């Protein structure tokens, strides 16, 4: 979900206005996923690197995410969406936000429709570091450390590896997102800024993915 700030700056608006418009784009994406039966959608809500932004913007993003979760959880629950979070929840995240995250999880945990995962205070490298630490604490022998074993120690070991990773705003990099899980993911980079993203954009991206041939390293 990249390009909120640039979208606002291009229109001579406050960067915060871009994030507000980005919320609408997010729910366009969610509705688009529901419409065509996508079972799992993961978005990058706040990275571990985002703490390095100006303090005022960081505080806005924290409050914005909290208000969005509060405002939208009932709506998502009615749509049979299961809400989940991945990231370092025990590092720097305010207690109030953690409480709202827990409420959203508890409210929707029995839902059977789209699983909507928000990567919050998340970094792909941090996830791998935390997985390695957990493996060491568990006392697993070196010979038993395999790719499958590492996967079981990620933040959510039930989350499937993504088929498609979609990034907006013309940036062509993963920016520390799902580094382990994305080994064989298809990548699609769009010039659109996130606030301009629509469910039509989403459907077009899925269609392009369906036209690709995934080889997983084979011929």
Range in 14-18, 47-51, 115-119 with the lowest mean pLDDT: 14-18
Residue 218 lies in a domain: no
- 11 phi and psi angles, rounded to 5 deg: -105, 10
**2 is known as an active-site residue:** yes
- Whole-angstrom distance, CA of residue 110 vs CA of residue 108: 6
> What residue numbers bound the domain in which 171 lies?
4-210
- Whole-angstrom distance, CA of residue 68 vs CA of residue 196: 19
pLDDT classification of 214: cutoffs 50, 70, 90? confident
Residue 167 lies in a domain: yes
Report yes or no: 2 and 194 within 8 Å, Cβ to Cβ.
yes
The residues, any chain, with a CB within 8 Å of residue 124's CB and separated by 6 or more, are 174, 176, 177, 178, 179, 180
**111 is known as an active-site residue:** no
What is the per-residue DSSP string for 5-34? HHHHHHTT--HHHHHHHHHHHHHHHHHHHH
Domain count, the chain: 1
**Residue 146 belongs to a domain with what CATH number?**
3.40.1180.10
pLDDT tens digits, 99-119: 999 999 999 999 999 999 999
pLDDT tens digits, 127-163: 999 999 999 999 999 999 999 999 999 999 999 999 9
Q: Supply the DSSP symbol for 144.
A: G
Alpha helix locations (H) across the chain?
A: 4-10, 15-35, 55-78, 95-108, 124-138, 147-152, 199-210
The residues, any chain, with a CB within 8 Å of residue 216's CB and separated by 6 or more, are 184
Among 4, 50, 157, 211, the one annotated catalytic? 50
Residue 215 lies in a domain: no
**In the chain, beta strands by DSSP E:** 40-47, 82-86, 115-122, 164-167, 186-189
* Closest C-alpha to 33, from 159, 157, 151, 164: 164
Report yes or no: 47 and 36 within 8 Å, Cβ to Cβ.
no
Residue 142 lies in a domain: yes
Report yes or no: 179 and 125 within 8 Å, Cβ to Cβ.
yes
Residue 163 lies in a domain: yes
Residue 65 lies in a domain: yes
Question: What's the whole-model pTM score?
Answer: 0.95
Residue 203 lies in a domain: yes
Residue 134 lies in a domain: yes
């Amino acid at each position: 979900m990249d390009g909120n700030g640039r979208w606002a700056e291009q229109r001579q608006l406050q960067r915060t206005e871009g994030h507000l418009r980005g919320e609408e784009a997010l729910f366009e994406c969610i509705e688009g996923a529901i419409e065509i039966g996508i079972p799992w959608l993961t978005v990058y809500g706040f990275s571990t690197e985002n703490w390095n932004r100006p303090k005022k913007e960081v505080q806005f993003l924290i409050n914005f995410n909290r208000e969005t979760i509060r405002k939208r959880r009932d709506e998502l629950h009615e749509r049979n969406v299961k809400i989940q979070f991945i990231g370092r929840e025990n590092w720097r995240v305010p207690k109030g936000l953690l409480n709202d995250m827990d409420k959203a999880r508890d409210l929707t945990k029995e839902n059977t429709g789209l699983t909507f995962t928000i990567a919050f205070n998340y970094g792909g490298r941090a996830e791998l570091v935390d997985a390695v630490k957990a493996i060491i604490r568990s006392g697993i022998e070196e010979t038993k450390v395999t790719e499958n074993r590492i996967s079981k120690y990620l933040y959510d070991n039930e989350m499937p590896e993504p088929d498609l990773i979609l990034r907006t705003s013309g940036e062509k990099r993963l920016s520390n997102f799902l580094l382990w899980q994305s080994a064989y993911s298809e990548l699609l980079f769009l010039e659109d800024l996130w606030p301009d993203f629509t469910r039509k954009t989403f459907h077009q991206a899925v269609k392009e993915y369906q036209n690709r041939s995934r080889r997983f390293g084979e011929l």
